[in-house]
Amino acid sequence: MMQVEYVDHMGTDLSVVNAARVSFAQDSDWPVTVHSGEMDTLKPKDHRLIKYLAKHRHMSPFGHAFASFHIKAPVFVARQLVKHKFLRWNEISRRYVDKQPEFYVPDEWRGRSADKKQGSEGVVDVGDLQAEYMVETGSSLDFYDILLEKGVAPEQARMVLPQSTMTEWYWSGSLDAFHDMCALRQASDTQAETREVADAIAEWMESFFPVSWAALDDWHPLNRVATLERDLAYAIDALHEIKGEVGASTNGYIRSIAAEVLQSLGAA
């Protein structure tokens, strides 16, 4: 029932490259394929430049490529996503619109996360409550219609509509701004419904700007934390082996150094 529709985009990976190269009064272009004469992938030096920009968080060149989407989702999803900075947002307003509302109906109901104050895990069998949910949303719609029939302004009548009411908006922004949103909302511990929207946008953005999107993925601070944690875990495992928990024949001096490192890490 949620929808993410592509509207428009401007720029390519080359836009990012040339926004950076202009600092030195330089620019680049697409390499030409000998046989077809069509655009090919970036030149190797431009590919390296994009990786460098992402690695060192030189973000302004990524701000010269844009995209726009038309999103349809329930209010509770929209109110999570609207928090992201640097993305333009224009939403349908029930101050002006009183057409029949639609309501979001989940395919399944998730359980509360056992170890977090937010989030969810597993599936809950709600039994007859699924039908009750439909009744309750129908009741709010009936009350809404009654208020409008009495002459109440739509801007007040909308108060009785639940957060499951569907809304829609235009969402536009730069390559780096959309990547920041997706990096946060695609994480495994985010709300599934917001993740669905972010996944769809990320798929579009990767198709428009494949080199830039991949570089931003590799070097985004959130992703780097996960990568560093993984690399540290591998290093600790290797140190344990050197220490002698697996390889007792290792040189004693090296084992003692490994033991000291593990102790300093609190992983002895």
Q: Which long-range contacts (CB under 8 A, 24 or more apart) does 220-224 make?
A: 220/54, 220/179, 220/180, 220/183, 221/57, 222/183, 222/184, 222/187, 223/183
Pairing of the two strands 3-10 and 66-74:
antiparallel
Task: Say how far apart CA 42 and CA 206 lie, in whole Å.
Answer: 15
Asked if 194 and 80 count as a contact pair (C-beta separation under 8 A), the reply is yes
Place of tokens 């999103």: 71
Of residues 185, 195, 230, 255, which has the active-site annotation? 185
Which secondary-structure segment (H or E) carries 14? Answer: helix 13-21
Residue 110 bears catalytic tag: no
Task: Say how far apart CA 174 and CA 146 lie, in whole Å.
Answer: 43
Catalytic residue ranges = 185
